[in-house]
Amino acid sequence: MDLNKNLEKYADLLVRIGLNLHEGDNLTIRLSEYALPLARLIARKAYQAGVGDIQLVFNDDAITLSRFLEARDESFETYPEYQVDFAEKLFLDNHHVLNLHAPNPDLLKPADPARIAQWQKVAGMANKRLMKYTMQNKVKWCVAAVACPAWADAAFPGMPEQDAVQKLWDNIFMTTRVDQADPIAAWEAHDQQLKAHRNFLNKARFDRVHYKGPGTDLMVGLVKDHIWEGGSGFSAAGDRFFANIPTEEVFSMPDADRVEGTLRATMPLSLRGQIVDDFHFTFKDGKVVDFDAGVGKQILADLLKMDEGATRLGEIALVADNSPISNTGILFKNTLFDENASCHFALGAAYSENLEGAAERSEEENRKLGMNDSVIHVDFMVGSKEVTVTGIKADGSETVLLKDGEWMI
């Protein structure tokens, strides 16, 4: 594939479809060095679309790792409040957010897990007031991927670096439909397919969803006035956007107090520069009461200690096995891609768009209705061709939603 040509198309897709940028908008781009060529293309197209101001939030893996290895302990005890204040002022100034993600799944493997857990909790609590801007779609936001050597090596171990990076870019362009003649038209058609499944599920009004497969027998209650969403969404100002590119999911809100049984993850989880694998959770009255992992158990233990909501579900998402990402046969070791190849759940905070009237109520009122609240939102994969998903209505009638990895509706 022609990398430069596809980067132009990718930038155009993110500006026009991902964030739907136009006059009056401002833009914050979160990026690393590997995203700079794409970010420059995006900035030019964003300014052409009428964007007034672009701010860059830069991160570097080597500096991040050095901090966790070398910084003094006290530097992990507090979070600079001015950073939160500045980020909130950007949101209030109509800044929308594009996260150009170039992950290193094993970045923090050499670091002290206690330091990582401490910083996750401190940073999570400090930034909690910012979560509403994205979790409630007060602004437009989009997460997209950028190939980098560390991620390419994790996805294609043993392959020469240049070949691995090129292969990763090829798969990014394919799964985001950038390789098609008209990516914009392809995304419009894809959005309609996701909306068809969303509409079916919203009309069905299921009370709960049953997952059954190897190591999994889980009953997940849905909040009473739940809403299924998928594909494009809308900001508080009424602008259409896509929070994830790629996306293949239709998702809704589980009742944080009505989850019973055991589930086994079907893919590894890359979590803040570390890998968790071969893990399962057991739920009672909505709460994780038991868990284990073949790799990374302490990482899960620290995650579940973040707050009370970290032990409960905030999202339920259905994804067919026959999707562009799943059909690659690649384990990307990156949640943005792996979650769109498999049904998944999220521990932690729920999205207000999945509960009717949630944005107009207080956190306390929504929590009484079953909406989970937390400083985290961590997706993990539970779907495969061996997992059957069944929707169950209040009267006990059942409809198989996914079987052998495919939609049955």
Residue 25 CB-half CA count within 13 A: 28
Question: Which pLDDT belongs to residue 273?
Answer: 81
Q: In the β-sheet with 250-252, what is the strand arrangement from edge to edge?
A: 229-230, 250-252, 313-318, 344-348, 377-381
Compute the Cα dihedral for 310, 311, 312, 313 and give only its sign. positive
Whose CA is closest to 90, among 141, 124, 19?
141
Alpha carbon distance 90, 134 (integer Å):
13
Location of structure tokens 């790629």: 246
Question: Which pLDDT belongs to residue 1?
Answer: 64
Question: What own/partner pairs with CB < 8 Å and gap ≥ 24 does 275-281 have?
Answer: 275/105, 275/106, 275/109, 275/333, 276/300, 279/380, 280/215
Question: Which pLDDT belongs to residue 400?
Answer: 98
Alpha carbon distance 48, 203 (integer Å):
41
Question: Which pLDDT belongs to residue 368?
Answer: 97
Alpha carbon distance 226, 237 (integer Å):
22
**What are residue 121's phi and psi, to 5 degrees?**
-70, -45
Contacts with 206 (C-beta within 8 Å, 6 or more apart), sequence order? 222, 391, 392, 393, 399
263: its two tokens: 């589930």
Q: Residue 372 has what DSSP assignment?
A: -
The alpha carbon of 233 is separated from its chain's Cα centroid by a whole number of angstroms, namely: 14
Question: Which pLDDT belongs to residue 382?
Answer: 94
Helices then strands, each counted (H, E), the chain: 13, 21
Q: In 243-377, which ranges are continuous DSSP H helix?
A: 297-304, 324-327, 335-338, 363-368
pLDDT averaged over 10-residue windows placed end to end, the chain, 409 residues: 92 98 98 98 98 98 97 96 98 98 94 94 96 96 98 96 97 97 97 97 98 97 98 97 97 98 94 90 98 96 96 97 88 91 95 95 96 96 94 98 93
Residue type, 289: V
Q: In 350-400, which ranges are continuous DSSP H helix?
A: 363-368
Compute the Cα dihedral for 218, 382, 251, 276 and give only its sign. positive
Q: Which domains does the chain have, with CATH numbers?
A: 3-175 (3.40.1830.10), 204-237+245-407 (no CATH)
Alpha carbon distance 239, 22 (integer Å):
10
Cite the beta strand spans of 296-373 per DSSP E. Answer: 313-318, 344-348
Compute the Cα dihedral for 278, 325, 27, 68 and give only its sign. positive
